[in-house]
């Protein structure tokens, strides 16, 4: 992992707790740049950073769905339509 990416990962973890909207914006930026695998990883980090309590349930679900969508995008880019559909089908 590059040091720049590690810095983004640390920011995502911190922002998920203090400002989830900003964390989501960072993830969306990676997605807009078509860095879908990295966006998926960052969304997973954001989800993992939040405690599993009712107050964070909506954001945890949002980050979980964003990660799945980014994984699906990555699979589509590689030509794996079936894999992309399976990823999306597994979303809770």
Among all chains, which residue has been given the structure tokens 């807009």?
32
**Six-digit token string for 57:** 């349930």
Tell whether the model's pLDDT for residue 62 goes beyond 90. yes
Please count the other Cβ atoms lying within 10 Å of the Cβ belonging to residue 44: 19
Give pLDDT, residue 90.
Answer: 85
Instruction: Give the residue from 36, 59, 44, 35 showing the smallest Cα distance to 9.
Output: 44
Quick: pLDDT tens for 13-56. 999 999 999 999 999 999 999 999 999 999 999 999 999 999 99
Q: How confident is the model at residue 8 (pLDDT cuts 50, 70, 90)?
A: confident
Instruction: Give the residue from 14, 16, 29, 88 showing the smallest Cα distance to 55.
Output: 16
Instruction: Give the residue from 11, 85, 15, 2 showing the smallest Cα distance to 50.
Output: 15
Give pLDDT, residue 92.
Answer: 65
**Averaged pLDDT of the chain:** 92
Give pLDDT, residue 25.
Answer: 95
Domain count, the chain: 1
Q: What is the extent of the structural domain holding 83?
A: 3-89
């Amino acid at each position: 992992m590059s040091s720049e990416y590690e810095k983004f990962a640390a920011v995502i973890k911190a922002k998920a707790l203090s400002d989830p909207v900003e964390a989501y914006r960072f993830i969306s930026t990676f997605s807009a740049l078509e860095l879908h695998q990295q966006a998926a990883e960052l969304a997973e980090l954001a989800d993992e950073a939040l405690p599993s309590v009712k107050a964070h349930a909506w954001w945890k679900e949002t980050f979980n769905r964003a990660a799945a969508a980014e994984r699906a995008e990555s699979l589509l880019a590689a030509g794996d339509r079936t894999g992309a559909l399976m990823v999306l089908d597994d979303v809770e």
